[in-house]
Structure 1
Amino acid sequence: MGRLTLSVATESLRLAQPFRISGYLFERFDVVVVTLSDGRFLGRGEGDGVYYLKDDAPHMLAELERFRDVIEADPSREELRALMPPGGARNAVDCALWDLEAARHGMPVWRLAGQAAPRALRTTFTLGADEPQLMAQAALRCVQARAIKVKLTGDTELDLARVAAIRAARPEVWLGVDGNQGFGIGQMDALVAGLVTHNVSLLEQPLARGKEADLEGYQSPIPIAGDESILTLADVPSAVGRYDVINIKLDKCGGLTEGLLMAAEARRLGLDVMVGNMGGSSLAMAPSFVLGQLCDIVDLDGPTFLSADRQPSVDYVHGNVWSSAEVWGVGAKVAP
């Protein structure tokens, strides 16, 4: 087994404007960028962490230092998965290993993963919680969107007013909502009934993490997705009977390697699959784009919130997201 050199940088990615969800207001994404070099090739990966698990930049940096010897021993992706815990740090390293492997073999990651050539994916564009008419105006400004996801706050009356205003402004789009753990089971009937009225196609994580059992036996005409409740491969079986869809995020599960395993297990169990993101630049979206080739719902709009993305970047055209190997997936040679 060879040796690698691990380099780590932190970056504060400023948002173009503050973004509000249930219980949180974001003004920036603090990410770590991992670079792995074998002296000839290099690979890169970006981790944003998981804010509600206190997996922030200082925690990710500490994890990377704690496992530096493991990482620099040039482990396989499966070895890394067994040795490091899930989270943003492992995600950054796992994605850097995929990038490095692609460079060593001179082929894109999608081929290494056994996939067909990638296609552009319809992605949702997310609206942060605000006053209903302001959200409707934001929906109108998002001209290219063919799918919109609406952040809710747990105030059923206000949330349904938000959805009604957006639906009136954009009657043609696919519409989903994200509760971000803001509701209780006692609010579900009124919430779901109102969402049906406005032709909403997905209700994501309405209940708090730890309250999943409250959904057992609950009959909803709208598919319910588990996000904060489904972190890793080990959590996927618990979704059966509670959720219809699982939302895989690489920062939660610890990288593309585990994300692909989660998608396969969800399919085996009869669940639909969604890919999302905790935020970040195009370097974070590109690995999720590979996973998105296997998904029913794609939510990869993180870079659209940034005041400036890194280059090269993923492209957003006609409501679709596209990532080429120039962004990530065929690493560059190390300069002599």
Structure 2
Amino acid sequence: MSINLDIAVERWPIAGTFTISRGSKTEAAIVVCTLTDGAYSGRGECVPYARYGESIESVVAEIEALRGALKNGATRDGLVTLIHAGAARNAVDCALWDLEAKRNHSSVTSILDMPALHDLTTAVTVSFGDAATMAEAARNFADRPLIKVKVGGENDAERIRAVAEAAPSSRIIIDANEGWTDANIVENMLACAKAGIVLIEQPLPAGNDAILAKIPHPVPICADESAHGTDDLHTLLGRYDSINIKLDKTGGLTEALRMQKRARELGFGIMVGCMVGTSLAMAPAVLVAQDADFVDLDGPLILKEDRAPGLEFTGSRVSPPKPELWG
């Protein structure tokens, strides 16, 4: 059946400023792919990420290049031969899932023969800054069960101590975004262990993390920028304890589910994360996150406002998507 493609670029203001060690931003620039067969439509959202060589323009061009194949009936399984993993494939893959569900008057969970979805507890994020500012932000989240804290600069041990003291009842993930070095990783990891941190995410640059196989892990270490596709997971053994699955990295829900299954077989813990986007981007990830050890799907909470209808957040609890949103 012929499918028509529409591509839209949207910019969603962030509530304040979102900062990691690489820089700050005040808006989420996203691309929405809508596929229509004449009677039904399916949508998928992606967030181009400069760290992976992506831009709004490049992602739009990659999706546009699929117009002919989609018109001729390209399928999810066929996408892997047409486009590499990344944000563009994510948007198209998720739109195809949504379209199939709408056509069948069913749900993606039914198509996948999954149990009914349950609510999840997501992390909330503290942006990178000086120790005092980060402690104040953590104090405002002190009633939340899980906090993710952005570090990756000089004096991170001080930041770690400050946020842990500000939110003593919360479980805390430290995300260095590749910002540590061989020279300071042991000091920072020991600071994390002393502060009771539950997970350290991507402490060293991808491709420059060999030391992780040689030093103790007093706190489990999670691969993010080092973890992209299923076929590369075996290369992370011995260096990482967990992996962060993001649909904008895997290239959609199809590969994310495959990656999840293989990661469990290899003994990795699983985090399901996100870029900063709207509920449309989070919705498919909710399916992958159903048995995750850590869930980090607070993208909509970072925005000034979310799309409507969106996911329902009650504190740190996020409910499964309704069909009007996706799936």
Bin the TM-score by the shorter chain.
Answer: over 0.9
Correspondence for 2:173 among 172, 176, 193:
176
Counterpart mapping for 1:155-304 below 5 A: 155=154, 157=155, 159-304=156-301
Closer, same or farther: CA 144–8 of 1 in aligned 2, 3 Å: farther
Q: Show CA shifts across 1:184-218 (max 9, x none).
A: 12212111111111100000000001113232233
SS of the residue corresponding to residue 186 of structure 1 reads: coil
197-206 vs 209-218, greater mean Cα deviation = 209-218
SS of the residue corresponding to residue 184 of structure 2 reads helix
Q: Distance in 1 between matches of 2:168 and 2:324?
A: 34
Distance in 1 (CA, whole Å) between partners of 2:50 and 2:307 is: 22
1:135: Cα distance to partner?
A: 1.5
Percent identical: 38
Aligned mates of 1:284, 1:31 — CA distance in 2: 9
**Further displaced range: 258-267 or 127-136:** 127-136
Shift of 1:162: 1.7
1:270-323 superposed Cα distances (whole Å, 9 cap, x missing partner):
111111001110000101111111311100000111111100111221421113
Q: How far apart in 1 are the matches of 2:6 and 2:143?
A: 38
Give the letter for the 1:54 counterpart.
G
- Give 1:133 shift: 2.0
Structure 2 counterpart of 1:163, which letter?
Answer: I
Name the stretch that deviates more: 113-122 or 315-324.
315-324
TM-score w.r.t. the length of structure 1 is 0.94
**Residues 185 and 215, structure 1, Cα contact 8 Å, conserved in 2:** no
Q: Would you identify which runs of 4 or more consecutive aligned residues in structure 1 move more than 6 Å?
A: none
Match of 1:43 in 2: 42
Instruction: Give aligned pairs, total.
Output: 327
Matched with 2:80 is 81
Identify unmatched segments of 5+ residues in structure 1. Answer: 331-336
For 1:136-147, list aligned pairs within 5 A. 136-142=135-141, 145-147=144-146
Which residue of structure 2 aligns with residue 96 of structure 1? 95
Between the aligned partners of 1:65 and 1:179, the Cα distance in structure 2 is: 35
Gapped regions of structure 2 (runs ≥ 5): none
Q: Distance in 1 between matches of 2:74 and 2:292?
A: 28
Q: State the 1:169 CA deviation.
A: 1.6
**Distance in 2 separating the partners of 1:138 and 1:16:** 14
Q: Secondary structure at the match of 1:149?
A: strand
